[in-house]
Amino acid sequence: MKYDIFNGDADGIIALLQLQLANPTDTVKITGVKRDINLLQKITPKQGDCIRVLDISMEKNMAALHDALGVGARVMYVDHHKPGTIPNHTNLFAHIDLDPDMCTSLIVSNLVNKKYHLWAITAAYGDNLFAKADREADELGLSETEKSQLKAFGTYINYNGYGSEVADLHFAPEALYEKLLRYQSPLDAIADKGSPFYTLQSAYLADMNQAANAQVLHDCDVAKVILLEDAPWARRVSGVLGNDLANQSPNKAHAVVTYNNKDSYTISVRAPLNNKFGAVDVCSQFPTGGGRAAAAGINELPKLSLASLILALITYYR
């Protein structure tokens, strides 16, 4: 059996998109909302299985990874999140890059000789790596209009991945991947008025308009924390809103707090763009926290712990 296990955000979807465009392969797809990262445990691997894991934390899936390797499965693991101790195993092919200016799709692009690099640039924009994406786009000689289009597309695809459950999303991640697989280039998708670009653009603009009235819980020289109401639109914008705020105030850390369906909060944290470190250190202080240096989150923060999170954020960046 062959499996593709991938994050439901822009980086995970586009990482798989590039691999499949380069070498179409019939695989079982395992994905979910962006924060559903315990994906490797959703399969029961057997000897001889081939598994590709894209843009989900190795550290959070370590037990399932050891199980897969232990039964004789071959695992290709591509990611940019904190991995923990990478197993030394002949059947593990790990491509891990923790550079704050890297994302999984850029790693994959290098693996396929940059054949679909426009898609990788789109993913980098979606992961809020604007400066990196701009540099990559400039090397290809893209116009300012094309750069703006790819930035918007990456943002929209990333926005689609956020929610407490797939029902919150406009497209289930696997369905969005299948629709995008029709296009060799993101510019081809943008040229097609019937593509997901336009559906997501309309939804994104409507949701972000509602987010303009978010409640500010804390705002100081080093950090800003906002709370969104309990609604599907709020859960959808939680990540992209954090990116937007980070770009508006690049010297501040930001946290976006949303209600989830487990009587707790879900948190998106962005390190200051001018100091892209520490987000994962702050979030990892809490049981369901994780991520990477520039962007991290907490899946289930007890409501009584919100003050502790705000204090941790301020203390770290003070």
**250 neighbors 240 (Cβ within 8 angstroms):** no
Closest CA to 243 of 309, 306, 162: 162
Same fold, 2-202 and 212-317: no
DSSP string, 165-230: SGGGSSS-HHHHHHHHTT-SSHHHHHH-TTSHHHHHHHHHHHHHHHHTTPEEEEE-SSEEEEE--S
d(CA 206, CA 144): 25
**109 neighbors 99 (Cβ within 8 angstroms):** no
CA triple 276-277-283, angle to 5 deg: 120
Give residue for tokens 């959070």.
Answer: 60
Give residue for tokens 């969104």.
Answer: 228
Contacts of 245 (CB under 8 A, 6+ apart): 224, 226, 252, 254, 256, 270
Spans in the chain with pLDDT lower than 70? none
pLDDT at 15: 98
d(CA 31, CA 50): 16
d(CA 195, CA 92): 37
d(CA 165, CA 2): 25
Q: Indicate the domain borders of the chain.
A: 2-202, 212-317
Q: Does domain 212-317 have CATH number 3.30.300.30?
A: no
Q: How many CA atoms lie within 13 A of 247 on its CB side?
A: 14
End-to-end CA distance of the chain: 50
pLDDT at 249: 96
**31 neighbors 173 (Cβ within 8 angstroms):** yes
d(CA 154, CA 165): 21
Identify the CATH assignment for 2-202 out of 3.40.50, 3.90.1640, 3.40.225, 3.30.1300. 3.90.1640
**269 neighbors 225 (Cβ within 8 angstroms):** no
